[in-house]
Chains A and B, each alone.
Chain A
Amino acid sequence: MLDVRLYLAQRLSAMLMVPLVLGHLVVMTYAIRGGLTTAQILARTRGSVFFMLFYGLFALAVSVHAAIGLRVILHETARVTGVWLTAFTVVAGIGLLLLGEHAVLVVTWP
């Protein structure tokens, strides 16, 4: 159920996330050593413009990418089409965006 525009949005958000996913995996692998506490996380992220931009962009890209991916799965497994399919895509995208950016702000706002 993808036309060329949705396809492009999917592929572009994927390309955008290449450095972001790598960065996230590296950061997580580094940070996990010796356990993790809230204070430790916030010490690094709070007030950091870099983390805010990095994860802010990540949350935006993943919202687009996941919403379109879920759209394809919903169409191909449950045969949902038309208005309902579009509505689902929009809700999923906005939902992930709001939850994601909220989490980013919570840990990076000074």
Chain B
Amino acid sequence: MAVGWISRAHPLWFAFLLHRLSGLALALFLPVHFSILAMALRHPARLDGFLQWAQAPAVKLAEFGLVFLLSVHFFGGLRLLALEFLPWSERQKTLALGAVSLALLLGGVFLLRAW
């Protein structure tokens, strides 16, 4: 990122940054996610231990974070697919805000159920 970027920041740029950071976080999380799931085969007791630990409020909050990241990357990605494959829409900033809002909504629903 170039020096002094903050002076150039605007809504669609934040959308780009959010999309990139959420993608990166999810890509780094995936191997961890897969490895933990795979414990079901040889170390089911350890997996159960992990799932128990995951009941802790801090972990639930982190899971909300993950759901938010996936949702925001998903809805932001939908906006990009629309931008690239459908005719131009003037409402890019509105759509970007809509993506974040929907992601917060989904994350919120998840958190309420997980709590």
Chain A residues near B (Cβ < 8 Å)? 11, 14-15, 18, 21-22, 25, 28-30, 32-33, 35-39, 41-42, 59, 62, 66, 69-70, 73, 77, 95-96, 99-100, 102-103, 106-107
Contacts and interface: CB of A to CB of B under 8 A. Distances in A.
A32 B110 contact: yes
Contacts of A36: 51, 54
Given A18-B78, A37-B48, A99-B35, A106 B40 contact: yes
Contacts of A35: 51, 55
B20 interface: yes
A78 to B, nearest CB: 12
Interface in B32-88: 33-35, 37-38, 40-41, 44, 47-48, 51, 54-55, 63, 67, 70-71, 74, 77-78, 81, 84-85
A38 B30 contact: no
Contacts of B110: 25, 28-29, 32
A59 B31 CA distance: 11
A62 B78 CA distance: 16
Contacts, number: 86
Taking residues whose C-beta sits less than 8 angstroms from the other chain, chain B's interface range is 35 or more
A86 B11 CA distance: 33
Minimum-distance CB pairs A-B, first 7: A99-B34, A103-B37, A103-B34, A66-B27, A106-B41, A38-B47, A103-B38
Interface of A is mostly: helix
Most buried by A among B1, B37, B84: B37
A11 B24 contact: no
10 contacts: A11-B81, A21-B70, A25-B67, A33-B113, A33-B114, A37-B48, A37-B51, A42-B40, A69-B23, A99-B30
Contacts of A15: 81
B26 interface: yes
